[in-house]
Structure 1
Amino acid sequence: MKVADRMARLVASDPVFRKDNRTMLPRTELFKDTLKKAAHAWKRIVELRLTEEEANLLRLYMDQPGYVDLHWVRIPTILYSLYILIYNIEAIVKEQQKKWLPLAYKFQIIGFYAQTELGHGSNVQGLETTATFDPKTDEFVIHSPTLTSGKWWPGGLGKASTHAIVHARLITEGKDYGIHGFIVQLRSLEDHSPLPSVTLGDIGGKFGSGAYNSMDNGVLQFDHLHIPRDQMLMRLSQVTKEEKYVHSDVPKQLLYGTMVYVRQTIVADASKAVTCCLYCCKVQCYSKAVLNYKTQQSRLFPLLASAYAFRFVGEWLKWLYTDVTHKLEAKDFSTLQEAHACTAGLKAVTTFDAIEECQKLCGGHGYLNSSGLPELFAVYVPACTYEGDNVVLLLQIARFLMKTVSQLASGKQPVGTTAYMGNIQYLMQCKCGVTTAEDWLNPAAIKEVFEARALRMAVNCAHNISKAPSQEEGWYYAYEFKAF
């Protein structure tokens, strides 16, 4: 708490970090203000030699969606470190590290993650941007063949970024080898103008006052842009000078490592969002007498309980992601599928409308920009769709559970978070032993109830899907009637 208090005072006492005027600034000024804050934050971190924990707290108290997150955290740490250190073959790692990491950490280049396209959001396999290898020049030719293939939404793309990790369809010897990542320079490092064959722009204002309007979410189109062959991310595969595609034995799911990481951070941040809106709700209009009303408690207290649950599961998810990362470095891919399922499911479950509920409970005060709730809502509501639409993610976790259920009959024992399913004979028949209210204070009793309920719902869902005329209708029924 001492560290948190110190970082809070640091932000509150620094006039550069003021945010009382955010909702009144025009978008251009809001954008400039965000850049100023991000640069100043980095300067203070270096000057004060802040630890990682202190730097993260500084970022939290700044409360600035935008460049601090997208470059300071995601680009050096996630995109360049994770992609180059994990995804590239060992013979190229050191060479690419020397070239890219120092530039990123010194902010001599600003990068972002270019996956989503105008016509293709979470459907990664539907991306249209192409990267065709030209053996005559030993280069890849990056191209946007259609209007819908333009990269759309990446934060930092519109005005600030100079480089990108671009996901495109790799084509060599006339064959499409699917989606791969490429390090691509977009702007001149001398005058920041777009390179020839590159079209860049800002996609315009977003929902709410302030919020994500501090970011230059952008659009990107390529017109046969040439890049060196060694700027392909090659941990999963590579293309030789002779135009041959060489595939490794590393699972393709590693391509989505960054998305899994971001989903993990969304879950971790969910408790912060709920806690902030509960605090705003309390400050705005609640006296002790009002909080005593049962109707208010019945709406607020479940949200408070959720904040605790989200905080605990967010910490656990960080541990899981770290554990999976270490195993990947040792070429152990056994827990990768579970990590994907857990982050997908929890991301969908934790991003719900708690902020809107608190805004309603504040009455008219909650509708004012000065309450902080409208901007908080505008900042957090995109979490329901980015990094995977929640409906799609719920279906992904459902398929993971159905696959686990189907394997029980073969005697294969589930592991990790689904290990309880191995006790299927007992859990399908057991009865709750709780007879008094005090019995619910026993964690073992609560755990058994949740396990029995979850397993029975999964088995029932699998049974219903198997009886459906088609698999598509079965999954529609499962989702529509909340069978899982």
Structure 2
Amino acid sequence: MSSTSKVNPDLQRERDKCSFNITELTNLLDGGPAMTEERRRREETVLKEGIHIEEVPSEYLSHKEKYELAVKKACLLFKLIRRLQEEENTGMESFRAVLGGSLGAAILQDGSPLTLHYVMFIPTLMGQATVEQQAYWIGRAFNLDIIGTYAQTELGHGTFIRGLETTATYDAATKEFVLHSPTLTAYKWWPGGLAHSANYCIVMAQLYTNGQCHGIHPFVVQLRDEETHMPLPGIKVGEIGAKLGMNGTNNGFLGFEHVRIPREHLLMKNSQVLEDGTYVKSPSSKLTYGTMMFVRVVIVKDMCNYIAKAVTIATRYSAVRRQSQPKPE
């Protein structure tokens, strides 16, 4: 807090009544004094950029304007992260330090259309692609030459993952997979960044080879032309509309009409499909869920931060709100 900031006297009175050592608790929550110092240094560096400052509060913006603001913030933030990476030679640590916790939420208050690119698209490539596939895809993703998202949940299937309807059928004659949405409920629903931002996607689909279903597997699918950004033939993609919150996340829907992709676009670190259609089973089918397990942990951690913010706001408000006249005569 700036030394010139004026604290409400009622709030200051409550703070003066504190019965515990604030510094000790802060260090405990951060993981130690050194981590507190590092967090505060990082916050000061990032907040000085002013990316979080909104000329017009987002509550007054239209749905379209909220998305445009989210894109602007995301671009500025990731430029800053890249600069910090070069100055500090920290790699992914800069992403986690800036995007994680309350700092990222303070800047990207209504969500970011690039979140799933870094939190799900790239981690899936890192965890489920072969070395050769990683060499081709990850560099392009890190440089934002392509923007990806992760499409698993369908309109008719959320937590029942085994019931996903999207199919990926292998055609040995052309060495391609044919992705298809056989029903309306098979449409992918909710992926962040999908509506307008992403041009690639990790698609979870039921894999079929030689007439047999092998369960869900991850595929890299191009959604839009890299130059024009227009949807490719057979790709049915759009926005799900305004939500109660996180409208900057740019959630969308996605359907396939017999879309063909190369065999190599099946991520094959754990299971493979050979050129003749032979299926090579993964050591464990649970490996397919690796990205979702990682993200579920991230969500729980993020929710702790959001709840902490909500409790802080409610506590401060309860300390300063007066039921009757502010200054009774």
- TM bucket (normalised to shorter chain) is 0.7 to 0.9
The answer to which of 186-195 and 229-238 deviates more is: 229-238
Matched residues in 2 for 1:284 and 1:164: separation?
43
- Which of the two has greater strand per residue? 2
What displacement does 1:134 show? 0.8
1:33 to 69, 89, 93: 69
* 1:89-168 matched pairs, under 5 angstroms: 93-168=130-205
Q: How does 1:373-412 map to 2 (within 5 A)?
A: none
CA drift of 1:278 comes to: 1.8
Aligned residues: 277
Give, in angstroms, the shift of residue 38 of structure 1.
Answer: 1.1
Shift of 1:54: 4.6
Deviation at 1:28, TM superposition (A): 0.9
Structure 1 residue aligned with 2:19: none
Instruction: Work out the CA distance in 2 between the residues paired with 1:68 and 1:109.
Output: 11
RMSD (Å) for aligned C-alpha atoms: 2.0
Aligned position for 2:38? 3
Q: Match of 1:244, as an amino acid?
A: T
- The question of whether the paired residues in 1 share the 8 Å contact of 2:121 and 2:201 is answered with no
Aligned partner (choices 238, 247, 257) of residue 213 of structure 1: 247
Deviation, 1:12, is 3.1
Q: Distance in 1 between matches of 2:277 and 2:49?
A: 56
The alpha carbon displacement at 1:14 in A equals 2.5
Q: Which residue of 2 aligns with 1:276?
A: 309
- 54 and 105 in structure 1: CA distance in 2 versus 1, 3 angstrom threshold: closer
CA distance in 2, matches of 1:139, 1:201: 25
Mapped to 2, the partners of 1:234 and 1:253 lie a distance apart of 14
Rounded Cα–Cα distance in structure 2 between residues aligned with 1:181 and 1:73? 16
What percentage of aligned pairs have identical amino acids?
Answer: 39
In structure 1, runs of 5+ residues without a counterpart are: 85-92, 291-361, 364-484
Take 2:152 and 2:318, find their aligned partners in 1: how far apart are those partners? Answer: 43
Residue 115 of structure 2 contacts residue 192 of structure 2 at CA under 8 Å; is this kept in 1?
Answer: no
Q: Give the structure with the higher percent helix.
A: 1
Q: 2:115 touches 2:193 (CA, 8 Å); kept in 1?
A: no
Contact 2:51 2:77 in 1 (8 A): no
Looking at structure 1, the residues matched to 53 and 83 of structure 2 have their Cα atoms a distance apart, in angstroms, of: 20
Letter in structure 2 aligned against 1:160:
S
230-239 or 146-155: which moved more? 230-239
Partner of 2:80, secondary structure, is helix
Question: Which one scores higher on RCO, CA 8 angstroms, separation ≥ 6?
Answer: 2
Q: Partner residue of 2:288?
A: 255
Provide, for residues 7-36 of structure 1, a one-character-per-residue CA deviation record: whole Å limited to 9, x for no partner.
322343333321471222111111111111
How far off its partner does 1:39 sit? 1.1
Which residue is 1:173 aligned to?
Answer: 210
SS in 2 for 1:17: coil
Matches within 5 A, 1:16-95: 16-19=51-54, 21-49=57-85, 51=90, 52-59=92-99, 60-63=102-105, 64=108, 65-76=111-122, 78-84=123-129, 93-95=130-132
Q: CA deviation at 1:128?
A: 0.7
Structure 1 residue 228 corresponds to structure 2 residue 262 = yes
Q: Secondary structure at the match of 1:16?
A: coil
- Asked if the contact 1:169/1:179 (under 8 Å) is kept, the reply is yes
Q: TM-score, normalised by structure 2?
A: 0.79
Shift of 1:180: 1.3
Shift in Å, 1:150: 0.6
The alpha-carbon deviation at position 178 of structure 1 amounts to 1.6
Deviation at 1:217, TM superposition (A): 0.7
- The residue type equivalent to 1:236 in the other structure is N
Give 1:237's match in structure 2, choosing from 267, 271, 294: 271
Moved more, 183-192 or 93-102: 93-102
Instruction: State the partner residue of 2:225.
Output: 188
Kept after mapping to 2: 8 A contact 1:17/1:62: no
How far did residue 68 of structure 1 move? 4.6
Which residue number corresponds to residue 298 of structure 2?
A: 265
Which residue identity does 1:175 align to in structure 2?
A: Q
1:297-331 CA distances to partner (integer Å, 9 max, x unpaired)?
xxxxxxxxxxxxxxxxxxxxxxxxxxxxxxxxxxx
Aligned match of 1:456: none
Asked if 2 retains the 8 angstrom alpha-carbon contact of 1:130 and 1:171, the reply is: yes
